[in-house]
Amino acid sequence: MIEILGCLTYEHNLPLLFLAVGVCCMACFVSANVVRRLRLVARGHRVIWAIVAGLVYGCGVWATHFIAMLAFQPGLPISYAPGLTAVSALVAVLGAALAFPLVQASGKPRRGRALAGGTVLGLSVGAMHFMGMSAMRLPGTVEFSPPHAVLSVLAGGGLAALALARRFDRRRGRLAAACLLAVSILCLHFLGMAGTTILPDGNVEVAGGGLDGHLLAITTAAVVAAIATVGLSSVVLEEKLWGERTRDAARLRRLASGTFEGLLIHRGGTILDVNETLARLVGLPAAALVGHDITRILPAGVASRLRADPEAVANGTAALELELVTEGGRSIPVEILSRVIEEVKTGWRRRARLQPACAVAIRDLTERKRAEAQIRYLAHHDGLTGLPNRALLADRAHQVLELAAREGRGAAILCLDLDRFKTVNDVMGHEGGDRLLAQVAERLRASLRASDTVARLGGDEFAIIKADLDTPEAGAALANRVIAALSVPYDLDGQVFEIGTSVGIALFPGDGRTVPRLLHNADTALYRAKRDGRGVYRFFEPAMDQRLLERRAMERDLRVAVERGEMFLVYQPQFDTMTRELVGQEALLRWTHPARGVVPPSDFVPLAEEAGLIIPLGRWVLETACIEAAGWPVPCRVAVNLSPAQFRQPDLVAAISGILERTGLPPQRLKMEVTEGLLIGDTERALTVLRALKAMGIFLSLDDFGTGYSSLGYLRRFPFDELKIDQSFVRGLGRDVESAAIIEAVLALGRSLGLSVVAEGVETEEQLGMLRSRGCPQVQGYLLGRPARSGEFFAAAVTPRLPETLLAASPHMHGSA
Ligand code: C2E
Ligand code: CA
Ligand code: CA
């Protein structure tokens, strides 16, 4: 130690010595930073950075040594052999360039590497030192003490190893490393110098040597400073670029992860990168995918296609759809698109580019598939009941028929139409009607097997496809089961409704071999079932078809009949048997069909009722009858027939009062003829409406009396003014005793309830006589007047009265009854 200190203070020029230390520290500090970069840059760039580190450190060490040598003033003229001096510098540069790449990039440094690096550094710096010393030319001899030489190399190398074991990724670590390196260099140099003895010898000739030591030292320091500056600036520049690159990469990663598609980049099937979306999709962390083969995610078949030709799977427009099985075993529908992307640069080692990098986008189709399924469901199901709709029914029916044809078995299509469903709609509104339909659907489902299909065709129409139905008896049994299930009363908010269903059955293959044919024929049979009195089933018969076609055509024509002016009214007079006065005329509807001529109401009124056309038609009748009656010369009543369907219209009362107001006909002149059918079902409602009409002053007549439900109890409750004896009883007068008995009973009832009675269908004078003799107050019939256009009656009759001649046969007998 004393030797070192002595050597420093007595034999050195101090300012130059400080310059040497300064150069040393600067070189070490810059080197530490270059070394850190060297470990961070891409593999391909490392050699360059190792050279830079070697240059900075090696030149720095060499300059330190050289300046220190210049500061060494043993009192002899010294010069240096340029060749050896240069070689010594090269040794330092090479040693550093070899040692520094051994430094750990980040994390805990490895001791072995640090030791190896330190050894290389110690040896190279030592070699440089002693070579530099040997390059000295001076008048004398230089002697090294071997223990000092060994010690200096050991100390220098050890300290360098300690330096390389610092954490270069941390600022403090780098500073410590720089200090340790500087100390190691200085130690090595001055320990070496302490063991150096110079023996002056006047005989030794020294060549040249006129350069000023100071100038040389400063120039050397300046050169090293320049090198160090270049090194440092490249560190700073690289750092900046690197920062930008990492930010860019992070941004790209965020972007890639932000996409809804899973992204994967692979080269020749080896996954290079994936985004978070993909990792989430397959349920594996990105780390578990990168570096693996794409078969980790994709089915082998697809993977091999992708490997063979990345753009063959999908050329970027048409995607390939497949199912991915996730880590959890869930299978997800996806579509994939693949495309060769810009070849990823892997640095200056270009041989890495054997295959292009490809991007594969994997789009999760779960949502889309779900939406598609939803749409498909909606397109094939009825929204209200969830039953298949007509489209799906046809589809299923096709399958059933195909199978039946192949197996030589039978099948059936049943068409259903609810009876009295309209009543529910009228009373409970559409919302109530909808709820009832849902209950109906439930019952239908429950009464069928899962393999059968029940569909809602619309409104209150349903259809059933039954496979493996080989006998008509089986069809009948099914129909009966369905009818029974649907006729159990329904409860809607405490209101109980009884509806039923009519069923039409068409059998495969007898009634048709195609779905449309069978559906059509089942519908025809249904039509018949409805006409035959509801709540029954009918099998299709070929004869039904023609009639049905006719009815359908008629229905079409009926819809436009009023508009086209094909409807008109005729009036049939009603007389008082006592006074012979004309008391009223009944309006009867007529239709002049363009092809069929005049069609009787019995042919089209039921049709109009079924098709719902009776509502507008009935209004037209009412309005026309009121208008025409208002113009009659005699202010008798006009009787208008009302269908039960019309009666269920909620605004009937308002409509009638509106018509009366518009036409100016006094309510007392209007008679309404209703049938007993009106009184079944919602009697309370019927009662309310009848009372309202009665309150307006309208005359109420109960038509076809005796043919209906014949519960006489209602007569007392309902505000009728008149009973109309049905013509079947009048026809029976004189033929059977029952008819006469009924007529007598009705007349007695009328008298006891204070109701007027009118007998219709009076065709013979005999009938008229018998009615009069029993005290029937009013009569109507062909004998007394056929239905005729408005006003015709008044034009023909001199006086609008019952002709006296007709009464001749049985003069005034009713008084005796
Ligand atoms: P209804 O109410 O019982 O009408 C009486 C029917 O008997 C009329 O038949 C009439 O022409 C017929 N008639 C009258 N006198 C005799 C007779 O002496 N002998 C025979 N055999 N028949 C006689 P029409 O005009 O064919 O009407 C049939 C049914 O059509 C009516 O029976 C009625 O229920 C319905 N109808 C007629 N017009 C209308 C209408 O404007 N609205 C409604 N809802 N139904 C109507
Ligand atoms: Ca009538
Ligand atoms: Ca009648």
| Domain-located, residue 247 | no
Give nearest CA residue, ligand 1 atom 15.
781
Residue 768 CA to ligand 2 centre (angstroms): 19
Q: Is 263 in the pocket of ligand 1 (CB under 6 A)?
A: no
- Any ligand 1 atom below 6 A from CB of 600: yes
Find the 715 Cα to ligand 1 centroid distance in Å. Answer: 23
End-to-end alpha carbon distance in the chain: 165
Predicted pLDDT of residue 1: 45
Neighbours of 570 (CB within 10 A): 18
Higher pLDDT, 154 or 254: 154
546 domain residue, yes or no: no
User: Domain check: are 175 and 211 in the same one?
Assistant: yes
Q: Is the CB of 641 under 6 A from ligand 1?
A: yes
Q: Quote the ligand 3 centre to 704 CA distance (angstroms).
A: 4
Could you tell me the pLDDT band of residue 774, with boundaries at 50, 70 and 90?
very high
The CA distance from 670 to 682, in Å, is 25
Average pLDDT of the residues in 570-583 = 94
pLDDT for 397: 92
Q: Which residues pair with 273 in a beta bridge?
A: 265
Neighbours of 377 (CB within 10 A): 13
Tokens of 22: 């300064």
What letter would DSSP give residue 313?
S
- State the Cα–Cα distance between residues 611 and 534, nearest whole angstrom: 15
For 128-142, 657-671, 716-730, 770-784, which range has the lowest pLDDT when averaged over its residues? 128-142
**CB-CB contact of 168 with 103 (8 Å):** yes
Q: In terms of domains, do 594 and 626 share one?
A: yes
Q: 83 and 219: one domain?
A: yes
Q: What is the DSSP string of 524-565?
A: HHHHHHHHTTSS-EEE--HHHHHHHHHHHHHHHHHHHHTTTT
Q: Stretch 673-702: mean pLDDT, rounded? A: 88
Q: Which of 118-132, 260-274, 467-481, 621-635 is least confident? A: 260-274
pLDDT in tens, 142-167: 888 889 889 999 999 999 999 988 88
Residue 348 banded pLDDT, cuts 50, 70, 90: very low
Q: What is the largest CA-CA distance in the chain?
A: 191
Residues 224, 277 share a domain: no
Looking at residue 586, what is its pLDDT?
98
Helix (H, G, I), strand (E, B) or coil at 673: strand
Region of poorest pLDDT, from 254-268, 432-446, 488-502, 799-813: 799-813
Helix (H) or strand (E) holding 717: helix 713-717
CB of residue 816 inside a 6 A radius of ligand 1: no
Instruction: Please state, as a whole number, how many other Cβ atoms lie within 10 Å of the Cβ of residue 266.
Output: 27
Q: Are 394 and 406 within 8 A, CB to CB? A: no
Is there a domain that residue 122 lies in? yes
**What's the whole-number average pLDDT of the chain?**
85
The average pLDDT across 30-56 equals 82
Tokens 């002899």 locate to: 76
In a domain, residue 318? The reply is yes
The answer on 799 and 664 residing in a single domain is yes
Number of domains in the chain: 4
Q: Give the DSSP H/E element, type plus range, for residue 580.
A: none
Q: Are residues 657 and 763 in the same domain?
A: yes
Q: Which helix (H) or strand (E) segment is 694 a member of? A: helix 683-696
**N residues, the chain:** 817
Residue 2: the pLDDT is 43
| pLDDT bracket for residue 806 (50, 70, 90) | confident
Q: How far is the CA of 705 from the centre of ligand 3 (A)?
A: 8
pLDDT at 653: 94
Residue 4 banded pLDDT, cuts 50, 70, 90: low
Of the listed ranges 19-28, 421-430, 489-498, 541-550, the one predicted with least confidence = 541-550
- In this predicted structure, the answer to whether residue 735 has a pLDDT above a threshold of 60 is yes
The CA-atom distances, in angstroms, between 77 and each of 9, 193, 263, 717, 783 are 19, 18, 74, 152, 169
- 610-648 pLDDT tens trace: 788 999 999 999 999 999 999 999 999 999 999 988 888
- The CB of 243 under 6 Å from ligand 1? The reply is no
598 lines ligand 1 (CB under 6 A): no
Residues forming beta bridges with residue 567, ordered by sequence position: 591
Single-letter amino acid code for the residue at 185: I
Token couple for 795: 């034009």
Domain that holds residue 395: 381-540
**DSSP secondary structure letters along 54-103:** HHHHHHHHHHHHHHHHHHB--SS--EE-HHHHHHHHHHHHHHHHHHGGGS
One domain for residues 665 and 699: yes
Share of the chain above pLDDT 70, in %: 91
Residue 707 domain-assigned (yes or no) = yes
Cis upstream peptide for 509 (omega within 30°): yes
Domain containing 423 — which CATH number? 3.30.70.270
Residue 251 lies in a domain: no
Q: 387-401, 584-598, 628-642: which range is least confident on average?
A: 387-401
Partnered with residue 777 across adjacent β-strands are none
Where is average pLDDT lowest: 93-97, 226-230, 568-572? 226-230
Q: Which ligand is nearest to the CA of 639?
A: 2
Q: What per-residue confidence (pLDDT) applies to 211?
A: 53
Ligand sitting nearest the alpha carbon of 780? 1
Q: Which of 490-494, 600-604, 657-661 has the highest mean pLDDT?
A: 657-661
Inform me whether the pLDDT recorded for 526 exceeds 90: yes
Spatial distance between the Cα atoms of 241 and 222, rounded to a whole number of angstroms: 28
Write the DSSP assignment of 469-502 as a string of letters: --SHHHHHHHHHHHHHHHHS-EEETTEEE--EEE
Give the mean model confidence (pLDDT) for residues 315-330.
Answer: 75
Distance (angstroms) between ligand 2 centre and the Cα of 600 equals: 14
Tokens of 562: 């009023």
Of 407, 415, 416, 417, the residue nearest 509 (C-alpha): 407
Residue 40 is predicted with a pLDDT of 73
Coil, strand or helix: which one is 181?
helix
pLDDT above 90 for 712: no
User: Which two tokens mark 554?
Assistant: 């008629």
Q: How far is the CA of 787 from the centre of ligand 1 (A)?
A: 9
State residue 812's pLDDT score.
44
Q: What is the CATH number of the domain that holds 674?
A: 3.20.20.450
Each residue's pLDDT tens digit, 641-651? 999 888 888 89
The residue whose C-alpha atom lies closest to atom 27 belonging to ligand 1 is 601
Atom of ligand 1 nearest to the CA of 569: 41
**Residue to mutate, 571, 607, 641, 642, ligand 1, most ligand atoms under 8 Å from C-beta:** 641
Structure confidence at residue 680 as a pLDDT band (50, 70, 90): low
Mean pLDDT computed over 520-545: 88
Query: Which residue has the CA at smallest separation from atom 22 of ligand 1?
Result: 761
Q: Check residue 713 and give its pLDDT.
A: 64
Domain end point (choices 371, 397, 432): 371
- Cβ of 621 closer than 6 Å to ligand 1, yes or no, is yes
Contact 602 CB / ligand 1 (< 6 Å): yes
Tell me whether residue 547 is in a domain.
no
- 570 CA closest ligand 1 atom index: 25
Active site residues: 760
Highest average pLDDT, of 115-124, 220-229, 526-535, comes from 115-124
Q: Does residue 5 carry a pLDDT above 70?
A: no
**In degrees, to the nearest 5, what angle opens at C-alpha 413 toward C-alphas 408 and 416?**
165
Ligand 1 contact, 787 CB (< 6 A): yes
CATH of residue 276's domain is 3.30.450.20
Query: Residue 758: beta bridge partners?
Result: 724, 778
Looking at per-residue pLDDT, the higher value among 311 and 209 belongs to: 311
Mean pLDDT of 224-246: 82
Q: Is 605 in the pocket of ligand 1 (CB under 6 A)?
A: yes
Give the per-residue pLDDT at 816: 37
SS3 state at 649: coil
Quote the distance between the C-alpha of residue 287 and its chain's center.
33
Distance 673 CA to ligand 3 centre (A): 8
Residue 211 phi/psi, 5-degree rounding, is: -70, 140
Confidence of residue 316 (pLDDT cuts 50, 70, 90): very low
User: Is the pLDDT reported for residue 349 higher than 80?
Assistant: no
- pLDDT for the residue 102: 81
Long-range pairs of 611-619 with CB within 8 A, sequence gap ≥ 24: 611/555, 611/558, 611/559, 612/422, 612/645, 613/555, 613/558, 613/559, 614/643, 614/645, 614/646, 615/645, 615/646, 615/649, 616/562, 617/558, 617/562, 617/567, 617/589, 618/642, 618/643, 618/646, 619/655, 619/659
Q: Are residues 781 and 806 in the same domain?
A: yes
Q: Could you report the per-residue pLDDT of 65-100, keeping only the tens digit for each?
A: 888 888 877 677 777 888 888 899 899 999 999 988
Please tell me the predicted confidence (pLDDT) of residue 715. Answer: 76
* Closest approach atom of ligand 1 to CA 726: 3
For ligand 1, atom 7, the nearest C-alpha belongs to: 761
Torsion of CA 695, 698, 699, 705, to 10 degrees: -90
- Measured by CA distance, the residue closest to atom 25 of ligand 1 is 588
Sign of CA dihedral 434, 435, 437, 438: positive
Domain end residue (candidates: 371, 393, 409)? 371
Q: State which residues have CB under 5 angstroms from ligand 3, the bound ion.
A: 703-704
Count of beta carbons in the 10 Å neighbourhood of residue 483 = 21
User: 786 CB less than 6 Å from ligand 1?
Assistant: no
Single residue among 510, 540, 570 that ends a domain in this structure: 540
Highest mean pLDDT among 221-225, 250-254, 281-285: 281-285
77 and 167 fall within a common domain: yes
Same domain, 622 and 482: no
pLDDT at 811: 44
Indicate the range of 242-246, 345-349, 652-656 predicted with least confidence: 345-349
Average pLDDT over residues 500-526: 92
Q: What is the DSSP string of 220-270?
A: HHHHHHHHHHHHHHHHHHHHHHHHHHHHHHHHHHHHHHHSSSEEEEEETTE
Res 718: pLDDT? 86
Rounded distance from Cα 702 to ligand 3 centre (Å): 9
Q: Which of 225, 111, 124, 238 is nearest to 162 (CA)?
A: 111
C-beta neighbour count of 761 within 10 angstroms: 18
143 shares a domain with 33: yes
Res 120: pLDDT: 92
Confidence band for 325, pLDDT divided at 50, 70 and 90: confident
Same structural domain for residues 304 and 385? no
Give a yes or no: residue 577 inside a domain. yes
Please give the Cα distance from 143 to 6 (Å, whole number): 17
Q: Determine if ligand 1 sits within 6 Å of the CB of residue 763.
A: yes
Tell me if 512 CB under 6 Å of ligand 1: no
Nearest to 636 by CA among 718, 575, 549: 575
Nearest residue CA, atom 34 of ligand 1? 641
- pLDDT for 675 beyond 70: yes
The Å distance, Cα 643 to ligand 1 centre, comes to 12
Nearest atom in ligand 1 to the alpha carbon of residue 763 is 18
Closest ligand (CA of 623): 1
- 3-state class (DSSP) for residue 126: helix
